[in-house]
Structure 1
């Protein structure tokens, strides 16, 4: 009698591959629109200085004001919505209490992913969308907008609003111009401040 793990079959692997949301499915999800996406993207980018492979999760109150945010490095090589959900949920738990005690969500989570490539939807974005939606459910939040930040600029997927600035290279441009050091206590790590000031 032999003991061990049976190799994963194609049928068993299918659920892992399905943990993404297609562009049409996302657009049909009744995601609440951002009141002023340009202002939100600028605020989030000024606070977290995202570079490619950086993910920023922001939580908005009912008026659309940012009440909490966190940035983290995207898991290297992962395109699994399950792993993305876990990463988002971990950082949500660090910055804001859950709202599971409420009958319906009042706060909204928005995800900004800074990455290389085209600004439009990719399967990797679909995995982040799946992760955002599931993390919001588990934390008692409304699932909000998904924003990509590339060298072309920013784009809110699902509603098509976007702009050329800020973009994925904005912070290196600021550093080249001798940009100012961010004030202490702004929630930006000291190592990042030193990088911006260089």
Structure 2
């Protein structure tokens, strides 16, 4: 599996003519890499845990909030609408789901929790303009909800990749069967740890 930021022709923006405003609401790979996004200590554990909880299929986004010890505080999954990729629309969707599952941290002097986004899509692991729109949307949604902007992760047929970090793996993938990874009953599995007292919050919010 190769990693990189070459633009992929496999995931075009849904046909509409590019507008300057829409193109301004996406982040180029260099902008994302320079944004100081905190590194995940164990990205495989995060990806596996979210895959087990939400079982995403292509065009499904999962936004998750992690505490300072990288434990899951809340998560929500939803289907991406079939409209041209626009960071504004993605920001609004992410913010709406964050508001449903966790209170904001706007009163804090500095963010204490981090939001990460896993997006399951068709195509290969290379960066696309759609990824750029999701990155813009995640960064803006985090600012408006008082969260630290965390990793953007893609899940494709070839596996998963943390864009901007060069870290990834073949499993889970968009074709992985349910509970193949991250389950708590399988030897050697890496479940995503849940914060104490968050059992009810961890019941995923899904709009499919």
What TM bracket, shorter-length normalisation? 0.7 to 0.9
TM-score, with normalisation over the residues of structure 1?
Answer: 0.81
TM-score, with normalisation over the residues of structure 2?
Answer: 0.77
| Aligned length, in residue pairs | 170
1:76 aligns with 2:82: yes
Deviation at 1:168, TM superposition (A): 0.3
4+ residue stretches of structure 1 with deviation over 3 A? Answer: none
What is the aligned partner in structure 1 of residue 193 from structure 2? none
1:54 aligns with 2:60: yes
What is the aligned partner in structure 2 of residue 148 from structure 1? 154
What is the aligned partner in structure 2 of residue 131 from structure 1? 137
Q: Mark the structure with the bigger radius of gyration.
A: 1
Deviation at 1:77, TM superposition (A): 2.7
Deviation at 1:18, TM superposition (A): 1.0
Question: Which protein, 1 or 2, shows the higher relative CO under an 8 Å CA cutoff with sep ≥ 6?
Answer: 2
Q: Any unmatched runs of 5+ in structure 2?
A: 1-16, 181-199
SS of equivalent residue, structure 1 residue 171: coil
Deviation at 1:139, TM superposition (A): 0.2
SS of equivalent residue, structure 1 residue 168: coil
What is the aligned partner in structure 2 of residue 170 from structure 1? 176
Deviation at 1:187, TM superposition (A): 2.8
What is the aligned partner in structure 2 of residue 21 from structure 1? 27
Distance in 2 of aligned mates of 1:111 and 1:172: 20
The equivalent position to 2:203 in structure 1, one of 184, 187, 190, is: 187
What is the aligned partner in structure 1 of residue 127 from structure 2? 121
Distance in 2 of aligned mates of 1:108 and 1:122: 24
Structure with the higher helix share, 1 or 2:
1
Please tell me the root mean square deviation across aligned C-alpha atoms, in Å: 2.1
What is the aligned partner in structure 2 of residue 89 from structure 1? 95
